[in-house]
Amino acid sequence: MAASPQTSRPAPVTSPEADVTSAAGAHLVRKKRLFWPFLLPAIGLYVLFMVVPTVATVVLGFTSWQGAGDTPEFNGVGNFTELFASDAFLYSFLNTLLYIFVAGVGTFLLAFLFTMVLREMRGGKLVRAILFFPNIVAPVALGMFFSIIMIYRPNRQGLVNYLLESIGVDAVKFLAPENVTWVVIGCLIWASAGFYITILMAAVDRIPPYLYEDADIAGATPWQKFRNVTLPLTWDVIGVAGVLWTIGAIKIFELVFVLAGPGTYSPPIESWTLGLYVFDRSFGTAGSPEYGMACAAAVMMIALVSVLVVALRRLMRRETIQF
């Protein structure tokens, strides 16, 4: 009997689309394998230099500790009770809030004003660069500059008081403890506005020009164009800028230290910020430092910035406008 020929099965046919999908899946797997080797070093550094010190600060805020050679002793909320009974801390807390809100409102109002003007101004990019310049100057240098021009010294006045006296106005003690906070607010607005103008103008540059052309055809004023076109389309950027301002303002230190306390180890408490309070409890106390109190004040800074940032993000939450 003749053997029957063996039947061969046809090879499976794959489509080009299936090959592409398979290749994309393999590529994605390779990318996932590379994800953790690149991410783990960054996570390790972040945990080591950010998370661990923050947790240690919170823990030490509930202790009485004088630094190296001393054993931290748990004292509950004693540090925080002492904080709110201290005039120095209350001045520091109030001044910090003034810098966040008053200086912040002034800075953003100035930034919005320049945003309205520079968008239609010839040479606006050059002006933007000039306005940004004060932000790259070190706060210590800014403090020294403003202390020189605002100093109150009979027969040897600073520039501002010299000009005031030249028009018959009495000299003002700008750098007195009760006035220096407002001087610092003015300096902050002047120095910081350029940074936020640059951020907002970068957002404005993304807005399609035809939207402003349509507004011009409709006869809109500059304020109406800002309110109905610029503001809604840059709202997310404004929210990010607000968070950046809050975080930066809560850490103000050098400018106040130079303006309020030239020639002294620590400025008068009426001019303190939370950063200055932490510095004084760490290095400015007579005798042994109070690191437990300094950590408690730092915990208050962490709590304050957390609350303000979360509140700001919720307040600025809007639906994203596609354009």
- In this prediction, residue 119 carries a pLDDT of 77
Instruction: Write the CB contacts of 29 (distance below 8 Å, at least 6 apart in sequence).
Output: none
Whole-angstrom distance, CA of residue 298 vs CA of residue 58 = 8
In the chain the first and final C-alpha atoms are separated, in Å, by: 80
Domain range annotation of the chain = 89-287+305-315
pTM value is 0.81
Q: Are 39 and 274 spatial neighbours (Cβ–Cβ below 8 Å)?
A: no
309: Cβ–Cβ under 8 A, 6 or more apart, which residues?
243, 246, 247
Residue 64 parent element (H or E)? strand 63-64
CB 60 within 8 A of CB 295: yes
The pLDDT, as a whole number, for residue 177 is: 82
Bridge partners of residue 73, in order along the sequence: 64
Q: Any idea what the Cα angle at residue 176 is, between residues 172 and 181, rounded to 5°?
A: 105
pLDDT at position 1, please?
Answer: 46
User: Tokens 């220096």 label which residue?
Assistant: 180
The contacts of residue 317 (CB under 8 Å, 6+ apart) are 239
Give the pLDDT score at 320. 64
Provide the pLDDT for residue 310.
92
Helix ranges (DSSP H) in the chain: 16-46, 52-60, 78-84, 87-118, 124-132, 139-150, 159-166, 180-204, 209-217, 222-225, 231-233, 235-249, 254-260, 274-279, 291-315
Mean pLDDT by 10 residues, the chain (323 residues): 51 52 66 80 92 92 84 89 92 94 94 85 78 84 87 82 87 86 90 90 88 88 88 90 92 87 72 90 76 92 93 81 63
DSSP 218: T
- Rg of the chain over CA atoms, in angstroms? 29
CATH number belonging to domain 89-287+305-315: 1.10.3720.10
CA-to-CA distance for 29 and 23, rounded, in angstroms? 10
